[in-house]
């Protein structure tokens, strides 16, 4: 896998990268920790969801699920295209409770590369 640093497409997005998979497919991914906890993670998620839906148009549908940590993930898809867009917020529950943090992710890529479990 090759990885390149990329600019964020959303104002709050940080740590963005382009991934080249061994299959030759590519994904754009951003993950960022929020300083103001769950409320800020939700606000980032809702802002991103509006921007994404406005950009993609009516041919794309959105499916929202709850993550294991109590956050949400929305996946936008178009049945005639292999590309999907995924935005989510979640609590990173690794380690001690005092170290838990709320995060956002944005991933754009082929649906076959985005079958990761919901955290």
- Confidence category of residue 108, pLDDT binned at 50, 70, 90: very high
pTM exceeds cut of 0.75: yes
Contact 103, 33 (CB under 8 A): yes
- Confidence category of residue 93, pLDDT binned at 50, 70, 90: confident
Q: Can you tell me the mean pLDDT for 62-73?
A: 91
Round the average pLDDT of the chain to a whole number and report it.
84
Which helix or strand (DSSP H or E) is residue 38 part of? helix 37-56
- Confidence category of residue 95, pLDDT binned at 50, 70, 90: low
Contact 87, 106 (CB under 8 A): yes
Domain edges within the chain: 2-113
The whole-angstrom separation of Cα 109 and Cα 98 is 34
Give me 29's structure tokens: 């991914």
- The CATH architecture one would assign to domain 2-113 is 2-Layer Sandwich (3.30)
Angstrom CA distances, 118 to 51, 56, 74, stand at 22, 23, 11
The more confident residue out of 50 and 96 is: 50
- Confidence category of residue 5, pLDDT binned at 50, 70, 90: confident
Q: Can you tell me the mean pLDDT for 34-58?
A: 91
User: Which pLDDT does position 118 carry in this prediction?
Assistant: 40
Which helix or strand (DSSP H or E) is residue 53 part of? helix 37-56
User: Which pLDDT does position 119 carry in this prediction?
Assistant: 40
């Amino acid at each position: 896998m090759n990885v390149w640093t990329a600019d964020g497409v959303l104002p709050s997005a940080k740590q963005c990268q382009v991934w080249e998979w061994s299959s030759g497919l590519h994904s754009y991914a951003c993950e960022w920790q929020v300083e103001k906890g769950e409320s800020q993670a939700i606000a980032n998620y809702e802002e991103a969801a509006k921007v994404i839906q406005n950009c993609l148009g009516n041919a794309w549908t959105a499916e929202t699920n709850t993550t294991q940590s109590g956050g949400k993930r929305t996946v936008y898809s178009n049945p005639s295209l292999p590309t999907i867009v995924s935005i989510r917020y979640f609590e990173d529950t690794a380690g001690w409770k005092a170290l838990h943090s709320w995060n956002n992710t944005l991933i754009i890529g082929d649906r076959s590369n985005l079958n990761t479990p919901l955290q």
